[in-house]
Amino acid sequence: MTIYLDFDGTVVEHAYPAIGSLNPRSLEVIRRLQDAGHTIILNTYRADLDDGSLEEAYGFFASHSQTILPITSHTPLKINPPAWNWEETVISSILYIDDICKGTPMIPNKTLMYGQMVDWLVLESWFEDQGII
Q: Are strands 39-42 and 94-97 parallel, antiparallel or unpaired?
A: unpaired
Separation CA 59–CA 131 (nearest Å): 31
Separation CA 107–CA 122 (nearest Å): 10
Second CATH level (architecture) for the domain 2-129: 3-Layer(aba) Sandwich (3.40)
What are the pLDDT digits (tens) for 35-63? 999 999 999 999 999 999 999 999 999 99
Separation CA 81–CA 58 (nearest Å): 21
Domain ranges of the chain: 2-129
Separation CA 104–CA 117 (nearest Å): 9
Other C-beta atoms lying within 10 Å of the C-beta of residue 77: 11
What are the pLDDT digits (tens) for 19-29? 999 999 999 99
Q: Which residues contact 37 (CB under 8 A, 6 or more apart)?
A: none
**What pLDDT is recorded for position 102?**
95
At residue 4, what are phi and psi to the nearest 5 degrees? -90, 115
Separation CA 27–CA 38 (nearest Å): 14
Q: pLDDT band at residue 113, thresholds of 50, 70 and 90? A: confident
One-letter amino acid at 32 equals: R
Q: pLDDT band at residue 117, thresholds of 50, 70 and 90? A: very high
Give the predicted TM-score (pTM) of the model: 0.95
Query: What is the chain's length?
Result: 133
